[in-house]
Amino acid sequence: MKTAYVFPGQGSQFKGMGLDLYQSSDSAKALFEKANEILGFEITKVMFEGTDEELKQTNVTQPAIFIHSVILAKITPDFTPNMVAGHSLGEFSALVAAGALSFEDGLSLVAKRADAMQKACEIRPSTMAAILGLADNVIEEICSSINDEIVVPANYNCPGQVVISGTIEGVERACELLKAAGAKRALILPVGGAFHSPLMEPAREELAAAIHAAQFEQPICPIYQNVNAKPATEVSVIKENLISQLTAPVKWTQSVEQMVADGAGIFTESGPGKVLQGLVRKIASSVEVKSI
């Protein structure tokens, strides 16, 4: 039975995150201090003492979740994954944990990603919405029927839970049509922009240069990437998929299904919260799910 390690994305942050690691492990403490140095501000202070509002800021949220997730994996003595995957931002955590990127380069890329995404959000008002209880193909058809606005499926989280992304008008109109088509809920999310949609193109272009310039190595195991839910070990493939990720949907359901098909029987979440454990249970009820 193979073990898959999975790494969470934005939204799993909480007040006081990482403080127990900082206080209980010298190697964890050293990595936290290194993170402060790389970022140029004391992210540890925000993680350990900050308010929910402060933790929600994109330039804090993304690095904080990355730092917490990677440090957990790095201080785990028996960290021997057969495969890894990460949800959106979590893909960077997975790559560092699997040895494809250094902690320093991974954190630098995440910080640049957060800044680029924030800038893209400010160009055009946009949003996201969670659609519950409707088949993927119905959601895809309704989104594609709206031609004068941008609205696309952004996250395939689990069966019956898809997040759509686009312009405010596009998302609102899609929500009305999706509810009319039988969706149990169509809930606008409190996010700053349309992640994983064509509206992130400026961020994709900015991040592409940074990814090409970073030093990547072959990971110790396959990483199942968001854009196609397929295992990758070749550096050139990993880079291109990582660049495409910002404007493409997160195929989380498909990734978990493929990992199970490839022999994963244990899924271990490394990072704050338990969001992915819940999603994995809904996708593959027969597997064992736990956290570090």
Return the DSSP state at 250.
B
Question: What Cα–Cα distance (Å) separates residue 16 from each residue in 23, 189, 272?
Answer: 12, 24, 10
State how far the Cα of 177 lies from the Cα of 186, in Å rounded to an integer: 10
Residues facing 246 on adjacent strands: none
155: β partners: 163, 250
Residues in the chain: 292
Taking the C-alpha atoms of residue 214 and residue 105, their distance in angstroms, rounded to an integer, is 7
DSSP string, 181-241: TT-SEEEE---SS-TTSGGGHHHHHHHHHHHHHS-----SS-EE-TTT--EE--HHHHHHH
- Active-site residue identified among 12, 68, 196, 270: 196
88 is catalytic: yes
How many whole angstroms separate alpha carbon 183 and alpha carbon 282?
A: 18
Q: Which residue in 12, 69, 87, 88 is the catalytic one? A: 88
The Cα 88–Cα 226 span in angstroms is 7
Q: Is residue 87 among the annotated active site residues?
A: no
Task: Kindly give the residue spans of alpha helices, DSSP state H, lying in the chain.
Answer: 19-24, 26-39, 43-49, 52-55, 58-74, 90-97, 103-123, 136-145, 168-180, 201-213, 235-244, 252-261, 275-283
Give the CA distances from residue 83 to residues 29, 146, 199, 222, 229, in Å, rounded to whole numbers and listed in that order. 27, 38, 31, 5, 12
Q: Catalytic residue numbers?
A: 88, 196
